[in-house]
Structure 1
Amino acid sequence: MVLAALVAPTGPARAQEAVAQYVGGGAAPLRPLLVRSTTDIAILAPALEAFVARTPGISLRYEQWGSNALYDISLAGCEGQTGAADVVFSSGVHQMVDLVNRACASPYASPVTEALPAARRWRNELWGITHEPAVIIYNTALVPAADAPRTRFGLLDLMRRPSSPYRGKIATYDIETSGLGYLFAFMDSLEATTFGGLLEGFARTEAIATCCSNEIIEGVAEGRYLIAYNVLGSYVASGHGPNIGVIQPEDYTFFLSRALMIPKGAAQKDAAAALLEFLLSPDGQAILAQNSLVQRLDGDVSSLSESAQRPIAIDPKLLVAMDAHRRQRFVTQWRATFGTSP
């Protein structure tokens, strides 16, 4: 039997968005496993419950963090300024690569981890667990089918209309508050010839930059926004009403693998490795797929050609996104686009 409870963060843990506790069977004392992650508890809970149920003697504490806050506390743990987690699991994969590059991770290898594609593992210290697309979403009740942008060029055409009904109604992540949003925008800047046009279009239509997946998706569902760009598709698929259309852009679609690291200061490295093994196992992947964290092309709204699929590789190239001077230039350009100031 697995007992799970949600508890509110208190004191210095206010940066946490939520906390859950999973207690398995077996004789006491239970080994405490601390997992810090950006993934919504509701989406990851079935996998955590299944892991605890089949791992006697484990008590798992799950802390949900924003990606920037998770990076900060993980770096502080690495430098001995605070206690380290046993597992760090983040959608901000560029931040995870930086942590590994700073010697903050413990190595681990097994036939399961070594079977991962090269784009989903680095130095036997970082592993990509999920497979999630960055999508365009729209309100199907308020956006005509002919307007639904199937490519970035289609989105540009909408934003260039002289009297656009989409003014103030297009949303995307705020790259300063969302590590995931920064990663997607940065990858766009490297990949897309349309990136400059997108920034121009966002400025022209007074697009909204906001913090979080749920806020964006709920805004589209309620009609506060009509279209949202570069939204993580797994959160859309988790259920936000019948009036949200989902498009995997046909020019290219990024696929993210959330990255897992076992910190060098982890107190329960064996249990952390067991969680890694479970999440990568056929059973673990099946549970993640049921909760949209592993997505296939079958049945998707738009069928992508192989050439349109762009996995975000977990490798040292992502360190470019963490360069302080380059980030500052990028953020300055972003602020000018959205009319924000420091």
Structure 2
Amino acid sequence: MIIFQRMQIWGAALLLTVGILFTSCGDAVQNTKADENIVVVYNCNAEDWAASIAKEFQEETGIQVRLISGSSDELMTRVRTEQECPHGDVIWGGTAIAYVSLESYLEPYVSPEKAAILPNFVCTNNTFYHMTMGPYVIAYNTDLVSEADAPKGWRDLLAPKFRGRIALADPTKSTSSYAALITMVNVLGGDSELIGRMAAQLDGRILGSSAAQIKALSDGEYAVTATYEKSALRYIASGAHIKIVYPEEGTAVSSTGLAVIKNAPHTENAKRFLDFAMSRQVHERLGAYGFRSTRADVLAPPNLRPLSEIHHIWFDTQRAVSFRDEFLSKWRAAVIK
């Protein structure tokens, strides 16, 4: 009898807990929908330009923008965990690799701006949009490395003189770091042996994020790094003693994304925000923030080297996603040695 009573109590407690979870989720959605004149944007961009564009959208449409900022890993994890009860409407920023992995959580949408996007940056299933693009580069600290000793390409990063002096985030945690490394491997012929060699070059010094690696380079803690063009340009514009090298062997041009979250509380507002962010009027000003547009009708900023003068390929997002597990397995094995 005592055991039976305990089972009844446990069962009642379990039902109560489940009821609370479902009620809180329902209340959260209902409370969010109660204010229909908003759009909640999960903002993975690290700079103030996102707030500027959000403010302009708000002034033009009257729709209030609630920016929730954080790292792409953090916010995309949030999208996944909120799948049954989304609190956000839009996910904005972060690499295209991350969006491919997130596709089942995104709402397919054919924007009227799609026709203006460069063919290489059209997502055929319409789950997300490539907003900005840029090449992966090598950057070096001019206080620590002379121009004569500066790396000219990816192979130079494997030189003994740079062992333990390369600022690089852990690719198991940073999609940006993984993208730069797989670019290096692909451009140098695809030999997976390069994964272990590059891991050894770090000499055990591995950073936690791509933001940390460019800061560490600027602070003089490291001599060189491999990063996204815009990340280095932002520090150069602020006066950091950094120079960029477009690798002589070639590099990949990648992109950042923008998407509507599946089952978003304010889907129509989310679509309007995406249309606005992908519009020509916004993309014509991306150059002021140091970005290259993915639209065919918008020229690259005059202060950036034209892609026609850079030996480049288009980043193969699908291969990067399919090869990721194998790459990271080899990376972990090399780091443990």
Query: Which interval holds the TM-score relative to the shorter structure?
Result: 0.7 to 0.9
Q: Deviations over 1:246-267 (max 9, x none)?
A: 1222322222221111122112
For the pair 1:44 / 2:50, whether they are aligned, the reply is yes
Q: Deviations over 1:44-82 (max 9, x none)?
A: 2222222222221x221212232333332222233x1x4
| CA shift in 2, pair 1:86/1:238, >3 Å | same
Equivalent pair of 1:46/1:287 in contact (CA under 8 Å): no
Give the 5 Å matches for 1:145-224.
145-156=147-158, 159-160=159-160, 164=161, 166-193=162-189, 196-197=193-194, 199-204=196-201, 206=203, 208-224=205-221
Per-residue deviation, 1:228 = 0.7
Equivalent pair of 2:131/2:258 in contact (CA under 8 Å): yes
User: Matches of 1:313 and 1:297 in 2, distance apart?
Assistant: 24
For the pair 1:53 / 2:49, whether they are aligned, the reply is no
Specify every segment of 5 or more residues in structure 1 that has no aligned partner in the other structure, as ranges: 1-27
Corresponding letter in the other structure for 1:175: P
Equivalent pair of 1:43/1:238 in contact (CA under 8 Å): no
Per-residue deviation, 1:308 = 2.0
Post-superposition, which runs of at least 4 consecutive aligned residues in structure 1 deviate over 6 A?
none
Counting helix residues as a fraction of each chain, which structure ranks higher?
2
1:67 corresponds to: 72
Q: Deviations over 1:207-239 (max 9, x none)?
A: 63212233212211221001012x122122223
Give the 5 Å matches for 1:299-314.
299-300=303-304, 305=308, 308-313=311-316
1:282 corresponds to: 280
| CA shift in 2, pair 1:50/1:68, >3 Å | same
Specify every segment of 5 or more residues in structure 2 that has no aligned partner in the other structure, as ranges: 1-33, 294-299
What's the TM-score once normalised by structure 1's chain length? 0.76
What is the percentage of aligned positions where both structures have the same residue? 23
User: Matches of 1:155 and 1:198 in 2, distance apart?
Assistant: 12
Per-residue deviation, 1:84 = 4.0
Counting strand residues as a fraction of each chain, which structure ranks higher?
1
Corresponding letter in the other structure for 1:312: F
Per-residue deviation, 1:206 = 1.5
Q: Does the residue aligned with 1:124 lie in a helix, a strand or coil?
A: coil
1:245 corresponds to: 243
User: Matches of 1:32 and 1:60 in 2, distance apart?
Assistant: 6
Please give the root-mean-square deviation of Cα atoms over the aligned residues, in Å.
2.8
User: Matches of 1:221 and 1:262 in 2, distance apart?
Assistant: 35
* Number of corresponding residues: 294
User: Matches of 2:312 and 2:215 in 1, distance apart?
Assistant: 27
User: Matches of 2:113 and 2:176 in 1, distance apart?
Assistant: 27
User: Matches of 2:332 and 2:66 in 1, distance apart?
Assistant: 37
User: Matches of 2:201 and 2:134 in 1, distance apart?
Assistant: 30
Corresponding letter in the other structure for 1:76: T
Corresponding letter in the other structure for 1:92: T
What's the TM-score once normalised by structure 2's chain length? 0.77
2:119 corresponds to: 118
